[in-house]
Amino acid sequence: MDQTRGHILEVKDRKFIKITGVKHVESYDDREIILKTSMGDLIIRGTDLNINSLNLEDGSLQVIGLVENFLYAEEAGARRKNFIKRILK
């Protein structure tokens, strides 16, 4: 995947999503999709979610369904580092 392309999230009418910078699909069902992106973990929640196309070579993903929310989370390694920093304070 060409990481210089960056990460773009495009939503049309809350029913069609295009995403670039996708590294991996962690899990997927019709209510939630969890992705690893070049900008961290991304959780998409909604109803009737379906991955329409996925190309990990160029890092692109298309989803159809009704989107209720998006959530970016720190990557697991970053969470562990922050946890250790809080303990050592």
pLDDT per residue, tens digit, the chain (89 aa), is: 444 468 999 999 999 999 999 999 999 999 999 999 999 999 999 999 999 999 999 999 999 999 999 999 875 555 555 555 666 65
CATH level 2 (architecture), domain 3-88: Sandwich (2.60)
Would you kindly state where each structural domain of the chain is located, as residue ranges?
Answer: 3-88
Q: What is the pLDDT of residue 83?
A: 56
State the CB neighbour count (10 A cutoff) for residue 81: 12
Q: What is the pLDDT of residue 2?
A: 45
